[in-house]
Amino acid sequence: MALPVAAADGHAPEHPSIARINDCWLEGDHHGDGDLLFANHIAVCAPHVPYLVREERALLARMVRYLIGHGVRQFVDLGSGVPASGHVHEIAHALAPAARVVYVDSDPGVAAEGRELLAGTENAAYLCADIREPEAVFGAAEFQQLIDLREPVAVLMIEMLINFPDSENPRGLVSSYVEPLCPKSYLGLSHFGDHEELDKGLNIFSRMFGQPPAVTLRDREQFAKFFTGLDIVEPGVVPVPLWRPLEDEVGHNPDRAHVHAGLGRKRVMRSVG
């Protein structure tokens, strides 16, 4: 998310990063005072956003566990943020230490911190790249060392597509990551919904900071189109808390969390004749 760095009152938190702002809400320790200040500003505009971010992290854990349970041993996380607080490699390696994970983020500070956090961790790498350049991601040494496209891969984009307006062809972008994958590979997504509560938050944010955050909210139908050509894993496209929750994870009014989640699987081609 592109964040304005100067508030309307002239106060300018230093280079807040959405990845580190998320870290504040995930109760991590990889953020600075500027990030915390900004996180608090956002929480004033949209008090439910920190809750939604925590729900998305819990979703990520459930998806990774599901994928490991279905034999996937390779993960590519696009727009990763800080690889801590229950991120992909932590969940995957707890169940399958040989699972391989590539994180990708375009924020150089976050990527540098990611590399530091992963130092000494086998089977995980952090790549600093703009995901709008898939050839650069697929061609990167980190990717080539860890990911074998002849075996199933899970591509994950958790709260990532919000960064791309329709004018940037986000469906084409998703396809460019899914097409090279072999059958039985997966695409896991979550996305803030086009809902008046989130819209209200964005409006307050705009008034406070003099410009709206550069994000695109999408309704369920628009979100579901990202899975075109894939088989959707049960329970389909649902609000994040309702995607395969553990028994003790279901809170109050989960259907009112206006963030969509879904996991699609690449079909096995059947030969004719």
Ligand X SMILES: C[S@@+](CC[C@H](N)C(=O)[O-])C[C@H]1O[C@@H](n2cnc3c(N)ncnc32)[C@H](O)[C@@H]1O
* Closer of 115 and 151 to ligand X (Cβ): 115
Binding mask 215-244 for ligand X (x = CB under 6 A): ------------------------------
# residues contacting ligand X (CB under 6 A): 21
* Closer of 146 and 156 to ligand X (Cβ): 156
225 SS3 class: helix
Instruction: Choose among 200, 205, 190: nearest CA to 257.
Output: 190
Pairing relationship of beta strands 259-265 and 186-192 according to DSSP bridges: antiparallel
Among positions 125-184, residues that touch ligand X (CB under 6 A) are 130-132, 158-160, 163
* Closer of 40 and 183 to ligand X (Cβ): 40
Q: Which residues contact 198 (CB under 8 A, 6 or more apart)?
A: 46, 49, 192, 217, 258
Among positions 108-127, residues that touch ligand X (CB under 6 A) are 110
We find the least distance from the C-beta atom of residue 216 to ligand X, in angstroms, to be: 12
Residue 22, classified by CB atoms within 10 Å of its CB into exposed (0-12), middle (13-18) or buried (19+), is buried
Structure tokens at 61: 């854990």
We find the least distance from the C-beta atom of residue 101 to ligand X, in angstroms, to be: 13
* Closer of 170 and 264 to ligand X (Cβ): 170
We find the least distance from the C-beta atom of residue 4 to ligand X, in angstroms, to be: 15
Task: Give the DSSP H/E element, type plus range, for residue 124.
Answer: strand 124-128
Q: Rule CB under 6 A: say whether 18 interacts with ligand X.
A: yes
Among positions 45-104, residues that touch ligand X (CB under 6 A) are 56, 60, 79-81, 104
Task: Give the DSSP H/E element, type plus range, for residue 259.
Answer: strand 259-265
Contact status, residue 166 vs residue 198, Cβ threshold 8 Å:
no
Number of C-beta neighbours around residue 96 at 10 A: 17
We find the least distance from the C-beta atom of residue 21 to ligand X, in angstroms, to be: 8
We find the least distance from the C-beta atom of residue 127 to ligand X, in angstroms, to be: 9
Contact status, residue 189 vs residue 226, Cβ threshold 8 Å:
yes
- Which residues of this protein are in contact with ligand X, per CB under 6 A? 1, 18-19, 22, 56, 60, 79-81, 104-107, 110, 130-132, 158-160, 163
